[in-house]
Amino acid sequence: MIIKQIDDMQGCIFKHDIKNMPNRMLALTNEMSQLLKQNIPAKYMNTLLEVLEYIHMAMENKDYLLVADLLEFELKPLFKNIVGEVN
């Protein structure tokens, strides 16, 4: 489930397990890709793209605490709403 992938990614950040972050991010993006194939409601698409852009910028800047915050307070609630509507 996507929420577990988000939690795993946050776990890497909080444990300072930076070397495994790319693998966790890959697992998370694969999970998001599968969910997006289910035709998520259009009303979430702009928000999702914006959050992903912020996560990308934070990763580029190696601001991992910001990545963790974006995952917790932006991406996780967004996907909870999406999953609730898709299922």
For the chain, domain boundaries: 2-86
Residue written as tokens 């307070």?
Answer: 73
Instruction: Name the phi and psi angles at 45, rounded to 5.
Output: -65, -45
For residue 46, what pLDDT is reported?
Answer: 93
Please give the DSSP secondary-structure letter assigned to residue 72: I
pLDDT tens for 32-63 read 998 888 888 889 999 999 999 999 999 999 99
Over 80: is that where the pLDDT of 86 sits?
no
Find the mean pLDDT for residues 2-26: 92
- In angstroms, the CA 38 to CA 87 distance is 10
Whether 3 contacts 79, CB under 8 Å: yes
As given in the structure block, the two tokens for residue 74 are 């932006």
SS3 16: coil
